[in-house]
Amino acid sequence: MSLTIHHLQNSQSERVVWLAEELHIPYTLKLHQRDPYFSPQSIKDLNPLGSAPVIQDGSLTLAESAACVEYIIHKHGNGRLALPPSHKDYADYLYWFHFSNGTFQPHIMQVLQFSRLGGSAAGASAVSARLDDRLGKYLGLMDARLGANKWLAGDEFTAADIMIVFTLTTMRMFNPLDLTEYKGILAYLKRVSERDGSRNQKGGPAHRRAPIRLNPFDATTSKQPYTQVRHKHKHQANTQARKPPTTSRDVSSPILLSINGHPAPKMQLPAGINRRYATFAGFTLILLWLWVAFDRPYKLPANIGWNKHTSVETDAFDIPAVNSQAIRDVCSRTEWNSSLVFTCDNNHGGIGHVRNSILNCVRYAMSAGASLVLPIIALRDMEEPEEMVELDDDMMELGKRHGPGRRSMDYMFDTDHFVASLKLSCPQMKIVKHMEAFYSERRRALRPESLVMNMPTSGIEHPEEWRGLFYDWVEERVATTPKTEDIIIDLEQSFLQYPTHSDGAPFAHAFGSLLKFRPDVRRLATKTLKELADWYDIPLNLSAPILKQSFFGAHLKTTEDEEPQYGKRHVAAAPYTHYAGQATAYLEHASASQLPILYLASGNITSITKLAHQATAFNIDVTHKFQLLKGPDREELEGLKWDQRALVDFLVLLKAEEFAGVGHSSFSWNVALKREREADVKKGKWVDGMWRDGVSTLYGVRESYVDSALCMWE
């Protein structure tokens, strides 16, 4: 399929030509000449509105520069120059991509239209001042952003930069902007001008973007009011109207309001229309536009999600890398073995199982003094492995042998955070990015707890003895040759077997934070909370660990395949294994707590709908993530897999004023224990089949569950 770009000089089609050059994709360029100032008939034949760009891709014809940019990126560029939802700078990319055509460029057009209508009417100076003020805010916002970042979206050059540069360069031919004081923008434009893609735009000098100048006016000329600048250049343009078109246009030249060497056209009115009345009518329209633009707070309420543009403001669950002295002390006391490597590839089940399994794996590696290969997550049968496996051939083969498929740990977690935290808190541990599947006499599988004779529900009785038992096992079971090969131990899944507080509370409190959920999940959870606050009109400080006067959170577990059961010793109390018992308990609890908003976490939409109907009798409104998220956020959520969606619920429930779950769910226990730590409340107590700590309640809890909870990392 052949891509054709219809390019009209001095138009937004510059963006599309530049994009194609940046992506290094093949395309056919068709040039169109203005007639003499406006779009020619050849463009109007393609797009009745007469605007450029227009692209053709086979039988498809598409206009609008932003639409063309996105289409080319995804259809021809394999997503390059766009950031995916999982990227840490995704929200910033979205904001700045739409900033140019959604905010900045329309304002420039208002300024231009106001100047063309004339500024002599009463109140014109006040309107001009308001326009100047708002323009200064826009430029200041961009200058601050570009002073702190190399590109608009962050460290990477993206389509957001392609969108904004046209407005900062070519549009200044029609509406001068003095950028002298905006050092961040000027340095940015210099960086842009040095890119090969920007230099290599096709179509000849007369069709390329005007060269980027660091000083838009004469260096000795101070910034002038709009009316003075416009009047000055209008006069000079008339005196030079018959000069031939230049092949490179200096935006500081006196023909800023000309096109192709000709003076900018005056407004032409139909016969019989008085210019004075037309000016008055136009001025009235300008006032209406300004009323819409200015008659509202410049800063929107903090709880409105789309008023946030930084990672701090759009991610309520972000935490810095763990820098724990307690963990460093344990690692410094360990004798490390450079020829010993642990893999951690058998992490399966729901988030509670996977999270605890990976953390146990790390703890055993610390005990043995082993290097650690980045953990792998095994997909569950409910997933679609053929869509999810994105590892190399060796890993895909390994996945085929072991079950439905495998993913790297970023399937659920933030890998960069994990690695950075271990480097800070346990610098002696070597992290191996990936290990291929292969056979060796010095490679063995091991279930860590199999080395221990007695295993009570509270976990290993003497974890400090595990290292000695392990090396005895290695000496007995692992080949002693060839010495040149490392000893590789493939750890089987370990769930509720390691006593988390055996190294002390500071260690336990920090250790669980080695795992942070992936960025897109955190953003969606933050957005869910903001939408909840907006919908129910409740003020929320999302930085607080527990949101007071907010909502009741509940985990509804009604299907057997949501996560594996703990085992025979963890049989759920009968009343709470089914929908009826859980629904009644949650609604009565929320009603007694006088919390009329119930956020429900469940993978069963039928049960959610049923409980929502039942809640009306209690004057309780039930909501959930799929109801709160709209538009692109909803689409992003739907694009996640079952267990990834559960991560959003997990994070939202952490913030609830009160939480309720069930004792036979590792998900519920994990949420409750993390809340206990974050809220800094007294340890939970088991009474009459319920576990409570003041901020969370688990129903259907047997005494053995409480013992096992001692082996769940916070």
8-46 confidence digits (pLDDT tens): 877 888 889 989 889 888 888 888 877 655 778 888 888
**Coil, helix or strand for 446?**
strand
Distance CA 476, CA 207 (A): 77
The model's pLDDT over 471-489, given as tens digits with 9 standing for 90+, comes to 999 999 888 888 888 999 9
The model's pLDDT over 171-204, given as tens digits with 9 standing for 90+, comes to 766 666 778 889 999 999 989 888 888 777 644 3
Angle formed by the axes of helices 351-368 and 642-654, nearest 10°: 90
Distance CA 124, CA 433 (A): 64
Among 258, 235, 232, smallest CA distance to 246 is for 258
Is it the case that residue 668 has pLDDT exceeding 70? yes
Q: What is the pTM of this model?
A: 0.56
**Mean pLDDT value across the chain:** 79
Q: Which of 320-334, 502-516, 549-563 has the lowest mean pLDDT?
A: 549-563
Is it the case that residue 106 has pLDDT exceeding 70? yes
Is it the case that residue 276 has pLDDT exceeding 60? no
Is it the case that residue 274 has pLDDT exceeding 70? no
How far CA 407 is from CA of 83, 344, 380, 391, 411, in Å, comes to 21, 12, 11, 7, 6
Better pLDDT: 249 or 413:
413
**Coil, helix or strand for 263?**
strand
Is it the case that residue 363 has pLDDT exceeding 50? yes
Please, what is the Cα angle at 661 between 551 and 646, to 5 degrees? 80
**509 within 8 A of 379, measured Cβ to Cβ:** no
Distance CA 263, CA 516 (A): 60
Distance CA 42, CA 34 (A): 10
Delineate the domains of the chain, giving CATH numbers in brackets. 1-81 (3.40.30.10), 84-291 (1.20.1050.10), 325-514 (no CATH), 519-711 (3.40.50)
